[in-house]
Structure 1
Amino acid sequence: MTTARRLAAVLLAGLLPWVVVTFDGGWYPLFSVGFLHFDPLSVTTLPGYVARVGSVPPRLTAWPTATLLYGAALAAALLERAVGLDARIPAGLLFLAGVNVAFIGLSLSRQATILAVPAGALWLWAAVWVGYGDALLGEPPR
């Protein structure tokens, strides 16, 4: 697998919406670094949200964790070839970010009248498979 293809898979998984939240009267997509409102059209970043509410509510604590894991995976993917980093490191970080995104969806969906679809878990796990499947299924390093 080429480094460019791996990096493209990692970048795409971070750009697509991670959780689609539906509620009575609307919906919004939650991305790795913020969420988008449609009425009126605006973006709230993760740091901006935390600054406004004071701290991350318990039902959303997996969001910054997933973002940090994704950021570490992106950094590892960028450094992978330059420093000879084992391909399993960014793959593992992406997988764990996907687990946290699944937790976000489950946590938000526990609230009445809210359905949160953690599509980002699928994007992140697909990035693991598309970008790193060959490395994960190949012969382990010695």
Structure 2
Amino acid sequence: MASPVDRLPRATPRRVLAAVLVCGLVPWSVQTFSSSSVPFFRFAWGGLSLTPVVTPRLLPTYFGLSRYPLLYRWALASLCWLLAVGSAALALVDREDPRVTAGLLVLAGAVNASVALSFGLQPLRTGYPVGTLALWAVAAWRYLAWTHAPPDRR
């Protein structure tokens, strides 16, 4: 009988890289304000506001507007994700250590969760760490695929 791990998609280098890249496209957190029904979306690359018009803003521009401590954690999570992208890309030349890729994704997810939850602790605001789930799911898939691979394929 096949284990649940055997039913996971095979972790080819291109699939791993694609999955890690997709983590940067998913909103990392959805933030809502009690004064507005329109959410703010925070990504690895920056933010997307929908009020009054759709306004994307890259992460570095936020540092020009404020030195809010959560910005540093947001940048740290993005850096961990970028390093995971680099680690996953090394699989294309057979140099990746899946533990590093998975570990960086776990760190990015944990730091992202702390940002979203800290935002949600502020009055009249809520933060949902959606991206953390994606980062941790890809990390678990990458690590499980590695641990269940035949020894000669590790």
Give the TM-score normalised by structure 2.
Answer: 0.83
Given that 2:62 and 2:71 are in contact with CA atoms closer than 8 Å, whether structure 1 keeps it comes out as: no
1:30 counterpart = 2:42: yes
What is the root-mean-square deviation in Å for CA atoms of aligned residues?
Answer: 1.9
1:118 to 122, 129, 133: 129
State the secondary structure of the residue aligned to 1:35.
strand
Deviation digits for residues 38-83 of structure 1 (CA, Å, limit 9, x no counterpart): 1221111111111222x3x123432000000000000111113425
Q: Report sequence identity in percent.
A: 36
Letter in 2 for 1:50: F
Aligned length, in residue pairs: 140
Q: 1:48 matched to which residue of 2?
A: 61
Q: 2:22 matched to which residue of 1?
A: 12
Pairing of 1:70-81 with structure 2 (within 5 A): 70-81=81-92
Q: 1:58 matched to which residue of 2?
A: 69
Q: Whole-Å Cα distance in 1 between the matches of residues 147 and 131 of structure 2?
A: 21
- Structure with higher Rg: it is 2
Letter in 2 for 1:105: A
Q: 1:134 matched to which residue of 2?
A: 145
Which structure has more relative contact order (CA 8 Å, sep 6+)? It is: 1
Give the TM-score normalised by structure 1.
Answer: 0.89
Consecutive unaligned residues of structure 2, counting only runs of 5 or more, are: 1-10
Q: Whole-Å Cα distance in 1 between the matches of residues 76 and 15 of structure 2?
A: 25
State the secondary structure of the residue aligned to 1:47.
helix
Consecutive unaligned residues of structure 1, counting only runs of 5 or more, are: none
